[in-house]
Amino acid sequence: MAESDNIVAETAEKIFADLADAQTINSDKKGNWKAPLWKALSEAGLPLSWVPESCGGSGASLAEGFSVLSAAGRFAVAVPLAETMLAGWLLSLAKIASPEGPMTVAPASPKDRITLNADGTLSGRARDVPFAKEAKHIAVLAHGSSGLSIALVDAAGCGIEAGLNLASDPSDTVTLNNIQPVAIAPAPGQFNQSQLMLMGGVARSLQIAGSLESMLEVSVRYSNERVAFEKKISKFQAVQHNLARLAGESAAALAAATSAADAIANCKTFDDEVFLEAASAKIRCSEAAEKGSAIAHQVHGAIGFTIEHILHRYTLRALAWRDDFGSESYWAVELGKLVAARGADELWPLVASR
């Protein structure tokens, strides 16, 4: 990691440590912690990390932004930071300036489609859009007769049906009925919806990997504090075995997510090699979220299932993030299609290229 990446990551870590402590958030039933956290993040320029200065952003590199998402995952923050970063990145591809305030991106599901009508308005429905209810603007990828366009939409003009994901964070249905965008421009030549999903999938992979790191830390700490039969449960072989498995899942997720992030940060186009990295990361991190969450709760026993304990902040979000921007089953099928299309002789060269 470059020195600038470290500075950005350290800034994010400090803000999260000061204003997003899991126990403090757990005790705050009214959500008063959100406004100070978002203000601090905005003042540091983190939500618009991927937006160039010419479009009103911070002009940070992709690698620097990815380091912010890793930190966000370790604190399991329930604010639209990743969504605003993705929206700003999408808008910047069309050289559309990003407004202030939280944003989200649509569509967030590979089967949804927004249409650009002949009169320049937008119509369609996007399901499971994260934090749409809390967003002031939505960055939209729309299909038109002349190709893809990227649009900035005022969320207040959209029909938003509130929903919740597994972690009780907003996951809403957004309906656009002949909505006039605030700004719209053609998408870059080879850009498509799959690339938006891959970018979102890598963002979620990094967040999942970060949450798994925290699950491991919390579980190890608890096992060294909890005493049963007059000795710490960390001394029991079964618990040691489970913690080793959790460490393995955490390491695998971190390796897959950071490798995919590095591939995107250093690529010129989303080619087959980048597709392999990003899709594989989403698949592996989603699998790790399922296995790691189960192990963490098993180590904690009954107390880990209580709403008062912080463990569920990490496990439920990691499990919820599995479904955003394409589930592991969706990407497994897409990856299979890629391999089949290239043919058997191209499988090993594709894998070995990464």
Mean pLDDT of 242-254: 97
- Amino acid identity for residue 176 in this structure: L
Residue 237 in this model has a pLDDT that exceeds 90: yes
Cis peptide bond upstream of 107, omega within 30: yes
Q: Which CATH superfamily is domain 103-190 in?
A: Butyryl-CoA Dehydrogenase, subunit A, domain 2 (2.40.110.10)
The pLDDT tens digits of the residues spanning 85-126 come to 999 999 999 999 999 999 999 999 999 999 999 999 999 999
pLDDT of residue 5: 52
pLDDT of 1 reads: 47
How confident is the model over 312-334, as a mean pLDDT? 96
Find the radius of gyration of the CA atoms of the chain.
20
The per-residue b/e assignment along 163-196, b for 16 or more CB within 10 angstroms, e otherwise, is: bebebebbbbbbebeebebeebeebeeebebbbb
Kindly tell me if the per-residue pLDDT of 330 is higher than 90.
yes
The domain 193-352: what is its CATH number? 1.20.140.10
> Does residue 258 surpass a pLDDT of 70?
yes
Please say whether the dihedral angle defined by the alpha carbons of residues 170, 174, 180 and 181, taken in this order, is positive or negative: positive
Whether 85 and 75 have beta carbons less than 8 Å apart is answered as no
pLDDT of residue 27: 87
Where are the chain's structural domains?
Answer: 1-77, 103-190, 193-352
pLDDT score for 227: 85
Prediction pTM value = 0.95
Q: Where are any strands of DSSP class E within the chain?
A: 103-106, 113-116, 122-130, 137-144, 147-154, 159-161, 171-179, 183-186, 227-228, 231-232
CATH topology identical between 103-190 and 193-352 = no
pLDDT band for position 3 (cuts 50, 70, 90): very low
User: For 144-169, what is each residue's pLDDT tens digit?
Assistant: 999 999 999 999 999 999 999 999 99
Please name the amino acid found at residue 294.
A
Three-state DSSP class for residue 206 = helix
Q: What is the model's pLDDT at position 305?
A: 84
Is residue 6 predicted with pLDDT exceeding 80?
Answer: no
